[in-house]
């Protein structure tokens, strides 16, 4: 298999001297470029993720019909109050999703989080990060870092190595949404999040990039803003595009629904990407809406096929009859009986918080989790296969290669197509860097010369 051969070739190049030299350069580059999540280095391994051209094509083409299906349920939810109840929105969210963003797309910048078993092309999407898809700039700069490693120089003599950069696409989306919104003035971008978040170093990479393309941008804490004379201001800086990295829930919890940000967006005084309407698809219940047999009639044959192939069976945790594998089941007894094959997730959380893996939980713990899931909106989802690949790391002057679990998180632009891919490695099945472990690596498409 081409992928296995590429990995083997790369690992065989890692002699003790070349591994030590490459690790030294990696450490120095991470420091120099600010590639840290809080105080943790973003990358702790010596190999990037590889995909073959056919695997990357499969990934892109498999996702496209799903994006059409997500778009359908999001737009129907705005038009149909009863249908919208399936997403489990709070009252304040109900109010905010009615706010017109000034452009058509509800989710112009997103990321789907999946597990991709490349040996047999098994691709299963477990979450839709439709609100604040992070790591695009980290990913691009890691591309540069890995290209410069001594081991990569040797590898490229045998393989063509193609990066999958994404920062330019983030910028194009922001500028295009601004134009559609009706923006006439020169764009002034606010990267909006709290000052103390661990991803601040990524915001700095974005300000550098936007600046290199001739666009002014600043990192701004929502609490520094004012809405005065019909303009959203941060001191003397007039903001006309918000690149929203703050989570909507946190924004409302800390600043309320009458905050300057919300007022400015409501009044059409600022273009915000992603808009409040992204909240519907960000909810874990959006996967239940796609997966539920009661909604199947909404989708084209191609969309139904993609949902069946790539969205794991997902339901809202509630007392009901439904189907599993085409057969009728009573949902709650089914969840108790098949604990080993199921995962519970809160409807609105991130960073792996609140997720309960049935196969890692004892019976009484699972029963308690199911009860809690009945009381606040949760989904139950079938277990998916988590792939593993060998990755080298240089620890205490010694090269070690061992298997790590990995996810596949393609970046999506305009709610329409895939370009680029985040990969996270971990020894924990939650595979979430913000949950406190793991490593981010760039993803390259590789082909033998």
pLDDT digits (tens, 9 = 90+) for 26-62: 999 999 998 888 788 999 999 999 999 999 999 999 9
- How much is the pLDDT for 1? 63
**Confidence bin at 434 (pLDDT 50/70/90):** very low
The CATH architecture assigned to 313-382 reads 2-Layer Sandwich (3.30)
Q: What are phi and psi of 97, to 5 degrees?
A: -70, -15
**Is pLDDT at 173 greater than 70 in this prediction?**
yes
Beta-carbon count within 10 A of 3 CB: 16
Write down the domain spans for the chain: 2-282+387-448, 313-382
- How much is the pLDDT for 433? 40
Beta-carbon count within 10 A of 254 CB: 12
Give this prediction's pTM: 0.94
Q: What are phi and psi of 112, to 5 degrees?
A: -95, 135
Mean pLDDT value across residues 283-290: 97
Mean pLDDT value across residues 324-342: 96
pLDDT in tens, 346-380: 998 766 788 999 999 999 999 999 999 999 999 99
Q: How far is CA 133 from CA 278, 313, 350, 441, 446, in A?
A: 11, 24, 11, 16, 25
For residues 270 and 231, what is the distance between their CA atoms, to the nearest angstrom?
A: 8
Contacts of 439 (CB under 8 A, 6+ apart): 42, 43, 44, 45, 404, 424, 425, 426, 433
For residues 383 and 243, what is the distance between their CA atoms, to the nearest angstrom?
A: 34
Average pLDDT over the chain, rounded to whole?
A: 94
Q: Contact 144/135 with Cβ under 8 angstroms? A: no
- How much is the pLDDT for 395? 84
Sign of CA dihedral 347, 350, 354, 356: positive
- How much is the pLDDT for 404? 92
**Is pLDDT at 437 greater than 80 in this prediction?**
no
């Amino acid at each position: 298999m081409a992928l296995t051969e590429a990995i083997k070739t790369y690992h065989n190049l890692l002699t003790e001297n070349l591994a030590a030299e490459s690790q030294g350069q990696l450490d120095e580059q991470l420091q120099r470029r600010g590639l840290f999540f809080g105080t943790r280095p973003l990358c702790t391994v010596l190999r990037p993720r590889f995909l073959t051209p056919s695997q990357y094509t499969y990934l892109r083409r498999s996702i496209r019909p799903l994006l059409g299906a997500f778009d359908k349920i999001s737009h129907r939810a705005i038009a149909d109050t009863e249908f919208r109840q399936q997403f489990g929105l709070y009252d304040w969210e109900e109010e905010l999703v009615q706010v017109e963003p000034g452009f058509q797309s509800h989710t112009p910048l997103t990321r789907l989080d999946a597990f991709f078993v490349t040996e047999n092309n098994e691709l299963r999407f477990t979450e839709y990060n439709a609100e604040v898809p992070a790591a695009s700039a980290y990913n691009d700069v890691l591309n540069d870092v890995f290209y410069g490693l001594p081991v990569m120089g040797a590898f490229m003599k045998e393989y063509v190595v193609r990066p999958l950069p994404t920062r330019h696409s983030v910028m194009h989306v922001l500028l295009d949404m601004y134009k559609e919104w009706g923006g006439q003035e020169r764009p002034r971008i606010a990267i909006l999040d709290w000052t103390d978040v661990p991803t601040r170093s990524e915001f700095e990479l974005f300000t550098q990039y936007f600046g290199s393309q001739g666009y002014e941008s600043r990192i701004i804490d929502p609490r520094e803003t004012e809405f005065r004379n019909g303009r959203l201001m941060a001191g003397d800086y007039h903001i006309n595009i918000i690149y929203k990295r703050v989570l909507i829930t946190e924004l409302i919890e800390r600043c309320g629904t009458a905050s300057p940000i919300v007022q400015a967006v409501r009044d059409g005084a600022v273009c915000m990407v992603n808009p409040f309407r992204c909240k519907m698809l960000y909810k874990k219940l959006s996967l239940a809406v796609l997966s539920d047999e009661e909604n199947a009639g909404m989708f084209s044959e191609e969309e139904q096929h993609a949902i069946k192939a790539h969205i794991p069976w997902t339901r809202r945790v509630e007392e009901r009859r439904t189907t599993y594998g085409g057969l009728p089941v009573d949902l709650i007894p089914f969840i108790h009986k098949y604990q080993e094959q199921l995962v519970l997730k809160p409807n609105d959380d991130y960073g792996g918080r609140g997720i309960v893996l049935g196969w890692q939980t004892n019976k009484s713990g699972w029963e308690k989790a199911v009860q809690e899931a009945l009381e606040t909106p949760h989904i139950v989802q079938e277990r998916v296969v988590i792939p593993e690949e060998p990755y080298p790391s240089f620890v205490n002057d010694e090269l070690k290669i061992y298997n790590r679990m990995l996810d596949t998180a393609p970046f999506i632009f305009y709610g329409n197509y895939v370009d680029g891919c985040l990969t996270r490695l971990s020894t924990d099945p939650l595979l979430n860097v913000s949950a406190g472990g793991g490593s981010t690596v760039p993803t390259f498409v590789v082909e033998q010369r």
